[in-house]
Structure 1
Amino acid sequence: MITCVVEYVVDPSKIDAFERFGRRWMELVDLHGGTHHGYFLPSEGASDKALALFSFPSLAAYEQYRTLFGKDPDFIEADRIRDESGCVLRYERTFMRPLLPEHAEG
């Protein structure tokens, strides 16, 4: 399993647009073989930081999902939410492997 952690710098005045963007991507990841663990939005502290975590069974499965970017109309529409609203100022992806409690791995 591989987990993608996306760290966002968001425009706090456009958090509603970011939530629309996030809800759409949660659906798309789940529809295309991944498991979305959710978006984590500003609450206290820095008001411009957000995270997303989602997993795929393997790097190959993630790469297959990535082939849809810029081609699939649903992916293009989801990115349009971000692009037209300006809710995301920048983001960075990191790939990690989870270490889970033993009872969750079985």
Structure 2
Amino acid sequence: MITCVVHYVIDPAQIEAFERFAREWMRLVAKHGGVHHGYFLPAEGASDRAEALFSFESLAAYERYRTRFGNDPEFVAADQIREDSGCVLRYERTFMRPFLPST
């Protein structure tokens, strides 16, 4: 399993738009074989930081999902929320593997 951690710098004045953006991406990850672990939005402290975590069975499975970016109308529409609102100022992705407690 590979988990993508996305670190966002967001516009706090556009939090509702960011939530719309997040809902669409959670739906799309699930629709295309991933497991979305949620978006984590500011509650206390810095008001311009957000995180998202989602997993795919492998990096190859993630890459298959990524081939839809810019082509699939649902992906384009979801990303258009970000473009139109300016809710995301910048972001970066990190890929991690989970290390879970033993049972």
Report the TM-score range of the alignment, normalised by the length of the smaller protein: over 0.9
Asked if 1:8 corresponds to 2:8, the answer is yes
Asked if 1:25 corresponds to 2:25, the answer is yes
TM-score, length of structure 1 as denominator length: 0.96
Shift of 1:32: 0.2
- After TM superposition, list the pairs within 5 Å mapping 1:65-84 onto structure 2: 65-84=65-84
Correspondence for 1:40: 40
- RMSD of Structure 2 on Structure 1 (CA): 0.5
CA–CA distance in structure 2, aligned partners of residues 5 and 27 of structure 1: 17
The count of corresponding residues between Structure 1 and Structure 2 is 103
CA–CA distance in structure 2, aligned partners of residues 100 and 19 of structure 1: 29
Where structure 2 has 5 or more consecutive residues not aligned to the other structure, the ranges are none
Shift of 1:101: 1.7
One-letter amino acid of the structure 2 residue matched with residue 91 of structure 1 = Y
Q: Deviations over 1:38-86 (max 9, x none)?
A: 0000000000000000000000000000000000000000000000000
Identity %: 74
CA–CA distance in structure 2, aligned partners of residues 27 and 60 of structure 1: 20
> Which aligned runs of 4 or more in structure 1 are off by greater than 2 angstroms?
none
Shift of 1:13: 0.4
Shift of 1:100: 1.1
Where structure 1 has 5 or more consecutive residues not aligned to the other structure, the ranges are none
